[in-house]
Amino acid sequence: MALDTLTVYAASKTEHPDHLLVRVYWMTGKNRRKAIDVSFPLSCHDCQAAAEAVAIRYLLSEANIFNVNRTGLNLKLVFSKGAIKKMAKNAANRKSSLNNRDLYEYGYPIYTRYAEAQIEVSKDKFWFPIQEEITEVPVVNSQELKGIEKIDTDSLGVIAITRHAMEKYGVHCGTIDMNTTWKNINRRFKSGKIEQIELPSKVFVHKLKKYGSAPEVWKHPDNPLHYVFCNRTNHKLLVTVFNKDPDELVTFNPSLYNKI
């Protein structure tokens, strides 16, 4: 099956008195070549790599240049900055780095929702759009596309899903890839009744309290999976998933990308 390919290239940076503006060229297919501008605070580290991550988020999930609710299956993402490919590889190998926290926050969906995507790095500029092709350039506020991706649900309000929770869900449900996991877990929270239950053990509460407020545990009445949420300012964060088996070892080992 042919891959949908999205190529992005942060081509230039302009510093203004109160913000940075990065011009990102993007291409799909052979003839669709356009540009967007991404604005950042002056304090942003490596804003050009971050701009390419923001461009991916905007084009796939906001502009929906392929289709609504796109995941990484049959998708190829081409960046000009190798730091993004390294970030995705580190996330897949459960490694993290504090050297470029901004990039991890802007690029979160690259290692959750789009984790199945093929990632390449290319410095080619031959495809850049000519001036006549750039008729309208949207300006994207990076701060609106920073941090973990959020989802609106009827039963729980706004939620966000960590990669750790997706991995645990996949283990328990046997989903074959992150694409299937993302779609299944979204479907479960967007439809069907779910109810909050009492926390299963004091030990479990103690472990999770170390990483924030006391968690909430939710489940569907006809399914044994338990979903553990920590409350954030404006959303609930799904941090892990476990089965009803009381002997199952429940762990939550937060890494960089689970703290966002």
Tell me what percent of the residues of the chain surpass a pLDDT of 70.
Answer: 83
Is domain 150-258 classified as CATH 3.30.2310?
yes
pLDDT given at position 69: 79
CA 250 to chain centre: 24
pLDDT given at position 37: 97
What number is the average pLDDT over the span 209-227? 79
Token digits of residue 143? 């701060």
Per-residue pLDDT for 253 more than 80? no
What lies within 8 Å, CB to CB, of 130 at 6+ separation is none
pLDDT band with cut points at 50, 70 and 90 for residue 259 = very low
Which residue has 């926390």 as its token pair?
199
Fold of 4-145: Nucleotidyltransferase; domain 5 (3.30.420)
Round to whole Å and give the CA distance between 89 and 78.
Answer: 15
What number is the average pLDDT over the span 98-125? 87
Round to whole Å and give the CA distance between 184 and 182.
Answer: 6
Domain boundaries, the chain: 4-145, 150-258
**Domain 4-145 identical in fold to domain 150-258:** no
What number is the average pLDDT over the span 159-188? 89
pLDDT given at position 54: 97
144, 210 in Cβ contact below 8 A?
no
